[in-house]
Structures are given as C-alpha cells and as structure tokens.
Amino acid sequence: MLEVRELFDSMAASMSLSSEDRARGVDALNDCEEAVTACASAMLTMTDQADVQMAVRRDLDCADVVHATRRLLTRGSGPDSSLLGVQLEACLLACEQSNELCAAHASHHEYCRICSEATRRCATVCRDLLNALRS
C-alpha cells in the first residue's frame, strides 16, 4: 500500500479522497478482483456446474466491476467525484452479490471462503470511500 500511496501523493490532481484512502481502496479492489476471478475459475472445475452457475456469473460480474472501479480510483476524479461515487455504489452491490453466494459455500470450499472474505473487505472499503466522498 505504501508504494501506491506514494504514487498518489506525487500526483498533482485535486482529489476528494486522501492518498491513503485511495491506496487502501486500490489494494482492496485488487485483492477482490483476484479472489473472485480465482473463485469463478475454481467453480468451473466442479463436476456439477449447474449448481454454481449463478455464483460464477456473480463472481465474473464482480471482477469486471471491481476492475473498472479500481481504474477510476487510480486515475482520480478531481473535484467532481460523481462518477466515482456511482461506480463505488455499483462495486459495493457487485461485492455484496458475489459474497452472498460464496459465503454460503465458504465452509465447503476454501476458494469460496477466500472470495467471501475479499468481497466483504472490498464492500467495506467501498462504503468507507463513499462516506469520505460525501463528507
């Protein structure tokens, strides 16, 4: 996180969020994207894929939304943070939906447990960033 924060500190753009908040967000988003992608991939190897089809879709949707959110957060929104706010709300929803199904399988599959934890952390960070944007 320190390297990302140092990068953000060096940027001249006026931001609604602190470098520390942005760096924490980028780290959580990156971890989440990796976890949901790996979880979806692991679920595709299961013999009864019909049971996990919705979970795979939610994980892949989450990975795409998280990726876009991370890129917007990294780029910075300047003084107008309305697009970033809407993207954080979409990311929060995608994380909650992915978490809903993976949490249900967390006791049976290690990859679902890891995914559930990553999406929960990411949702928390999205909420924190939204609150920081609104204050």
Confidence of residue 76 (pLDDT cuts 50, 70, 90): confident
pLDDT of residue 46: 81
Mean pLDDT score across all residues of the chain: 87
Q: Is residue 44's pLDDT more than 70? A: yes
- For residue 106, what are its two tokens? 């967390």
Write out the H or E segment, with its range, that includes residue 124.
helix 110-134
Indicate the CATH number for domain 17-134: 1.20.1270.360
Residue 33: the pLDDT is: 97
Tokens of 3: 């390297």
* Block residue for tokens 């060096």: 10
- In tens, the pLDDT along 78-132 reads 667 889 999 999 999 999 999 999 999 899 899 999 999 999 999 999 999 999 9
